[in-house]
Amino acid sequence: MVVETTLTVDLAIILLSATLLGFVARQTGQPTIIAYIVAGVLIGPVVFGIVEVTELTDTLSDLGLAFLLFLLGIKMRLDDVRHVLSPIVKISIPQMVAVAAVGGGAAYALNFVPIGALSGFTVLESVIIGLAVMYSSTAVVIKMLTDRDEATSLHGKIDVGVLLVQDIVVVILLAVLAAGRPESAGEVARTLAVVLVLVAVVTVAALAASKYALPRVFRRIADNKEIFFLVAISWAFLFVFVSDNVNLFLEPLGLTAYLSIEMGAFLAGLAIAQLPYSKELQNRVNPLTDLFVMIFFASVALDIQARELLFYWREAIVVAVVLMVAKFLIFFVLINWQRFDIETNFLGSLYMIQVSEFGIVVGVAALAGDFIGVEVLGFLTLVALITMAVSVYFIEFGDRLFERFEPWLSQFEPKETFSEGGKAYNGHAVAIGYDDVTRNVLPLLDEYYDDVVVIDRRVDHIEALQAEGFDAIYGDVASSTIRKDAALKKADFVFSSSDQPAVNKTIIDEVGEGTTVFVEARSDAGAEILYEYGADYVVNSFNLAADRLTAYLEAYLDGRPTFDRAIETDTELLRNPDPFPKTHEQMVGELDD
């Protein structure tokens, strides 16, 4: 009971301190990741020693990274990234080799620096350091891309793709290190083969499920938000469990291997990403991911003693500076080699200058395998913390840095740049919600616009719209992800069939200056508010119905034949089974004139 209380108190202290410093960071315009890391340093052994790593904090920290990768997987539709796969592979492999060489070389070169305060590392330690620093931080880069709504940008796709290749490599490396000092090259080759086969099998299983099993399940539950969310989270935990307990399946075969839960979580998200419901899920997973990620960053410094962390502090500063400069230059050259535009090149390079949290994990595995000492692990941890902290500021102000250096950087831009090839909306129409009003509006919009995008939350509506050739997006327009995918800012015309004032205000705030916006309101007072807020036209269904009723009465009083023909026409429209009737062509003559 006392142990449980202590665990609860430790968790409460982590959450409270991280939240408090995160709030201060927000108020002062600083990145929250830095606040979380500082919180861990303050409450950990390095400063006050209030909290130590426990099984609970360790588990929650691991889940934080796993959920971050799950969220990343949900964003990765294969159709959206297939066109950049080849450049990503061509960038990733040379980058890791080059950075490993620079990192290991810099560590060993310290032996020859004529400064008494600095000391170098052995050849084996330098090799391990090189292998540990060649990755960029998945947690930092993805968190910043998500916060800045850039995960689906071109530089975001490149960085995410490179991170995934790096994650696969680190899984393989951890499997080798976990086996300790290998007795032969054959043992190393066997371990590598097992891990590669495992990754391939789990990937095939995830993609097969996304094609044959998940569509049936999610189609039945997508309209129930609570069940939809719980099933998605359960799916993630299933892959986390399989990855964490992969040896249970391999023991009968006489094999052992390591597969990270982060990889399993990513593949679970990747399977869901291929479904039309993935965008709706992204905003639901975000808050849960933020909670676990906050614990992850706060926990980074909890299990390091001050002496271990600071034993090589001078060397850590030197190597950190060398690595950040080298990583930027290496990425810049390689991304430029693949003919990406200069802004994509600059931002994609700038975002990847830090050393990954996996560098610390590699250090821990190397320590357990008796490759390095605890002081070298402290060195790797400090290098990772320094580069993470500095890189967050570079990422935060990346746009401003590019604007300042663009005139000079433009000389490096290739004459022919890489094209994404994806569909980009511009000057299109967007309809929000599919109901009887939208049903009659869509054919008319389709005649005037090349692209008509419809946002709706019912699966059967999405399927019907897609069958008719409309671009349909499943989800809630309250989600910024959904609004971005529909390109509201670039739309020429937006029609909202929602009568929720908050929803319509969000839409009006989102659209560009030249966009024409039609929205609905429940009352005249509500319509007046929306007009003041900037709507071009407000539809009041009750008033329209009242006007129609008045027209009916006038027709009835003026002459029965006119009334009968009007009733017959309207009844025919109501009974029309066509999901997209061309109502505007039939609403002519007599009453409608």
Amino acid at 579: P
The percent of residues in the chain predicted with pLDDT above 90, rounded, is 11
Residue 497 has pLDDT above 50, yes or no: yes
pLDDT of residue 546: 55
- At the topology level, CATH places domain 1-181+286-412 in Na+/H+ antiporter like fold (1.20.1530)
Tell me the whole-structure pTM to 2 decimals.
0.62
- Contacts of residue 449, Cβ cutoff 8 Å, sequence gap at least 6: 427, 428, 429, 492, 493
Q: What is the DSSP letter of 355?
A: P
Residue 591 has pLDDT above 50, yes or no: no
Secondary structure of residue 375 in the 3-state scheme? helix
* Burial class of residue 200 (count of CB atoms within 10 Å of its CB; 0-12, 13-18, 19+): exposed
DSSP output for 208-264: HHHHHTHHHHHHHHTT-HHHHHHHHHHHHHHHHHHHHTHHHHHGGGT------HHHH
Q: For 332-342, what is each residue's pLDDT tens digit?
A: 999 988 888 88
Q: What are phi and psi of 473, to 5 degrees?
A: -120, 125
Mean pLDDT of 218-247: 82
Residue 374 has pLDDT above 90, yes or no: no
Mean pLDDT of 211-238: 83
Residues of the chain with CATH 3.40.50.720: 428-539
User: For residue 424, what are the CA distances in angstroms to 52, 195, 451, 489?
Assistant: 50, 39, 10, 12
pLDDT of residue 586: 47
Element containing residue 393 per DSSP (H, E): helix 374-396
Residues of the chain with CATH 1.20.1530.20: 1-181+286-412
pLDDT of residue 183: 61
pLDDT of residue 167: 75
Comparison of pLDDT for 556 and 58, the residue scoring more: 58
Under a CB-based contact definition with an 8 Å cutoff, are residues 482 and 455 in contact?
yes
Comparison of pLDDT for 551 and 438, the residue scoring more: 438
pLDDT of residue 100: 93
Amino acid at 254: G
CB atoms within 10 A of CB 580: 18
Amino acid at 376: V
CB atoms within 10 A of CB 126: 21
184: pLDDT confidence band, cut at 50, 70 and 90?
A: low
Average pLDDT over the chain, rounded to an integer: 79
Element containing residue 573 per DSSP (H, E): helix 560-575
Q: For 467-493, what is each residue's pLDDT tens digit?
A: 888 888 877 787 766 787 788 888 999
Element containing residue 331 per DSSP (H, E): helix 313-337
Of 372, 319, 356, 379, which is closest to residue 133 (Cα–Cα)?
A: 356
The percent of residues in the chain predicted with pLDDT above 70, rounded, is 80
Q: For 151-165, what is each residue's pLDDT tens digit?
A: 767 788 888 888 878
In terms of CATH architecture, what is 428-539?
A: 3-Layer(aba) Sandwich (3.40)
**CA–centroid distance for 498 within its chain:** 28
SS3 annotation, 435-480: CHHHHHHHHHHHHHCCCEEEEECCHHHHHHHHHCCCEEEECCCCCH
Residue holding tokens 């009453």?
Answer: 591
Comparison of pLDDT for 7 and 234, the residue scoring more: 234
Secondary structure of residue 305 in the 3-state scheme? coil
* Burial class of residue 77 (count of CB atoms within 10 Å of its CB; 0-12, 13-18, 19+): middle
- How far apart CA 80 and CA 92 sit, in angstroms, is 19
8: pLDDT confidence band, cut at 50, 70 and 90?
A: confident
Q: For 78-135, what is each residue's pLDDT tens digit?
A: 776 676 778 888 899 999 999 999 999 999 998 887 665 667 788 989 999 999 999 9
324: pLDDT confidence band, cut at 50, 70 and 90?
A: very high
Tokens in use for 318? 């030197």
- How far apart CA 291 and CA 276 sit, in angstroms, is 26
CA 484, 485, 490, 496 torsion-angle sign: negative
Q: For 12-35, what is each residue's pLDDT tens digit?
A: 888 898 889 888 887 776 667 778
Helix axes 278-299, 32-43, angle to 10 degrees: 30
435: pLDDT confidence band, cut at 50, 70 and 90?
A: confident
Residue holding tokens 């315009």?
Answer: 29
CB atoms within 10 A of CB 20: 12
Tokens in use for 421? 């090839």
Mean pLDDT of 390-410: 86
